[in-house]
Amino acid sequence: MNGEPTLRAAVIGFPVAQSLSPAIHAAAFAESGRVGAFDAIECKTEDLSGVVARLRNEGVIGFSVTMPLKEAMLGQCDTLDDSAAAVGAVNCVAHEDGLLVGYNTDGEGCCDALEAVGGARLDGAIAVVLGAGGTSRAVSVSLARRGAKVVVVNRTQVRAREVVELVRKGVPRADVRIGDVSTVRGADVVVNTTSVGMGTVEMPCDPSLIDRGTVVLDAVYHPIRTALLEAAEARGARCVDGLWMLVHQAKRQQEIWFSSAPQTGPMRDAALTELEARRQ
Ligand code: ATR
């Protein structure tokens, strides 16, 4: 503790009690010697403008935004960083000189985790993104920004097409297309952004398609070792769990708020401790 004034930050969403953000960000505060509180504030979409006005008046340094508010938050910001504008969703707000600036760190957090934990080289890599929801949009935009050749694979084709169009609009030189699940074979990177495997042993693709040496990230982190990751690891793939993505997107948020990056180890440990405490 270095005696800085007390900082306030929060995560807003509905429901929010399950969010690991308070534990992760509190660990980052502690590790950086910051004195602060990180609250979880339950907020439905219809209450968003009131909650945002309150946070603004209370002088928070910023806040994280989770489901179902990421899109609605676009209209509450005074300005949008490119990261949020290109994806069409906000997961982090910084209160800068009285203005609320909207960012999106989900995709960059995913790419950081692929590189830092999985050892992936994204520039020129063939990256298959399974799913075409909000997480896919953020991840696909960031992968394209880092020079990956992005293939979007989804059960519902029209949604995959929407992601491809969004990436082309946000990243002018993007190499992005729709693919089918067979493109997993030979991919350098595979990211599961579907909800398949959440609390079940289902897998979003046939794991026999996964090559040795492919880096596989599963955005699902309940369980932390999903069936996909277990099967991919058994095939010699390098695996990155969704908790790493969560921690890296939080690290990016800390960088936005404080212009310095915390270590990810204590943030991950705090998330694991919190999950363990909830199991008891
Ligand atoms: P998020 O915003 O968290 O990314 P979402 O918008 O609900 O979540 O998207 C969920 C993704 O998981 C979608 O791509 C969905 O596929 P569809 O667009 O075809 O609905 C995918 N998904 C969910 N359940 C699935 C299943 N059983 N099989 C295949 N894909 C599934």
pLDDT digits 0-9 by tens, 96-128: 999 999 999 999 999 999 999 999 999 999 999
The conformation of residue 180, written as its DSSP 8-state character, comes to -
Q: Which ligand 1 atom lies nearest to the CA of residue 156?
A: 19
- Note the pLDDT tens digit of each residue in 149-187: 999 999 999 999 999 999 999 999 999 999 999 999 999
Answer yes or no: is pLDDT of 78 > 80.
yes
pLDDT at residue 7, as a whole number:
86
Determine which residue's CA is closest to atom 9 belonging to ligand 1. 133
CA-closest candidate to residue 12, choices 93, 95, 98? 93
Which amino acids are annotated catalytic? 70
CA-closest candidate to residue 161, choices 185, 137, 126, 194? 137
pLDDT at residue 280, as a whole number:
84
Whole-number Cα distances in Å, 100 to 36, 51, 260: 20, 13, 19
CA-closest candidate to residue 132, choices 150, 104, 156? 156
Residues 262 and 34: their CA atoms lie apart, in Å, by 11
- Tell me which residues have their CB closer than 6 angstroms to ligand 1: 131-136, 154-156, 159, 193-196
The sheet carrying 36-42 orders its strands as: 36-42, 7-13, 62-65, 92-96, 99-103, 79-80
The pLDDT-based confidence of 6 (bands split at 50, 70, 90) is: confident
pLDDT at residue 2, as a whole number:
47
Distance from residue 131's CA to the centre of ligand 1 (Å): 6
Q: Which ligand 1 atom lies nearest to the CA of residue 131?
A: 14
pLDDT at residue 214, as a whole number:
98
The pLDDT-based confidence of 136 (bands split at 50, 70, 90) is: very high
> What global pTM score does this model have?
0.96
Residues 128 and 135: their CA atoms lie apart, in Å, by 13
- Note the pLDDT tens digit of each residue in 29-39: 999 999 999 99
Determine which residue's CA is closest to atom 7 belonging to ligand 1. 133
Residues 63 and 61: their CA atoms lie apart, in Å, by 7
Distance from residue 55's CA to the centre of ligand 1 (Å): 32
CA-closest candidate to residue 74, choices 88, 57, 95, 62? 88
- Note the pLDDT tens digit of each residue in 190-199: 999 999 999 9
Whole-number Cα distances in Å, 40 to 14, 100, 101, 102, 251: 10, 19, 20, 19, 18
> Can you tell me the mean pLDDT for 1-29?
88
Distance from residue 207's CA to the centre of ligand 1 (Å): 18
Distance from residue 225's CA to the centre of ligand 1 (Å): 19
**Residue from 90, 135, 137, 155 to probe ligand 1 pocket by mutation (most atoms less than 8 Å from CB):** 155
Task: State the DSSP H helix or E strand holding residue 249, giving kind and residue range, or none if neither.
Answer: helix 242-258
The conformation of residue 18, written as its DSSP 8-state character, comes to T
Q: Which ligand 1 atom lies nearest to the CA of residue 159?
A: 18
Residues 197 and 88: their CA atoms lie apart, in Å, by 26
Distance from residue 69's CA to the centre of ligand 1 (Å): 18
- Note the pLDDT tens digit of each residue in 259-276: 999 999 999 999 999 999
Residues 195 and 130: their CA atoms lie apart, in Å, by 10
Q: Which ligand 1 atom lies nearest to the CA of residue 136?
A: 4
Distance from residue 195's CA to the centre of ligand 1 (Å): 6
Whole-number Cα distances in Å, 93 to 44, 65, 81, 98, 140: 17, 8, 10, 12, 21
One-letter amino acid at 259 equals S
The pLDDT-based confidence of 4 (bands split at 50, 70, 90) is: low
Q: Which ligand 1 atom lies nearest to the CA of residue 160?
A: 18
**Residue from 67, 87, 194 to probe ligand 1 pocket by mutation (most atoms less than 8 Å from CB):** 194
Residues 93 and 244: their CA atoms lie apart, in Å, by 21
Residues 181 and 205: their CA atoms lie apart, in Å, by 7
Provide DSSP, 113-153.
HHHHTT----TT-EEEEE--SHHHHHHHHHHHHTT-EEEEE
Contact 196, 153 (CB under 8 A): no
pLDDT at residue 5, as a whole number:
57
CA-closest candidate to residue 124, choices 98, 144, 95, 101? 144
Residues 86 and 72: their CA atoms lie apart, in Å, by 15
